[in-house]
Amino acid sequence: MNRAIPRSSLLHPLATGSVPLRPASAPPMIHTAVTGLAGKHVLVTGGTTGIGRAVAALLASYGARIFTFGRNRKPLDEALDYIRAAGGEADGMVGDLTEPDDVRQIFAKAREVFGGIDVLVNNAALPANGIMQMDDAEWRYAVDANLVGQLACAREAATRMSEAGQGHIVFIGSMSAEVREKGSSVYVATKAGIEGFAAALRKELNEKGIRVSLIEPGSVSSDMASPSADQQREMLKNGLMLRAEDIAVCVHFILTQPLRSDIILMQVRPHRQEI
Task: Give 103-134 pLDDT, tens digit per residue.
Answer: 999 999 999 999 999 999 999 999 898 999 99
Instruction: Specify the pLDDT at position 23.
Output: 63
Q: Which of 198, 197, 50, 67 is nearest to 120 (CA)?
A: 67
Q: Which domain holds residue 67?
A: 35-268
14-49: pLDDT as tens digits:
333 344 455 666 666 666 777 789 999 999 999 999
28 in a structural domain: no
| Domain presence at residue 10 | no
For the chain, how many structural domains are there in total?
A: 1
In a domain, 275, yes or no: no
Residue 156 pLDDT level (bands cut at 50, 70, 90): very high
Residue 14 included in any domain? no
* Angle in degrees, CA 11, 15, 19, rounded to 5: 60
Between the CA atoms of 63, 65, 70 and 76, what dihedral angle is there, to the nearest 10 degrees? 60
Q: Quick check: is 199 in a domain?
A: yes
Residue 208 backbone zone (phi > 0: left; psi -120 to 50: alpha; other: beta): alpha
What pLDDT band is residue 231 in, cutting at 50, 70 and 90? Answer: confident
Contact 134, 178 (CB under 8 A): no
Catalytic residue check, 187: yes
Within-domain flag for 23: no
Q: Tell me the pTM.
A: 0.86
CATH number, position 139: 3.40.50.720
- Asked if residue 202 lies in contact with residue 212, where contact means CB atoms within 8 angstroms, the answer is yes
In a domain, 81, yes or no: yes
Could you read off the pLDDT of 238-267 as tens digits, one per residue?
888 899 999 999 999 999 998 889 999 999
Active-site hit among 62, 82, 141, 187: 187
Task: Compute the distance between CA of residue 192 and CA of residue 50 in angstroms, rounded to an integer.
Answer: 21
Give per-residue pLDDT as tens, 57-103.
999 999 999 999 999 999 999 999 999 999 889 999 999 999 999 99
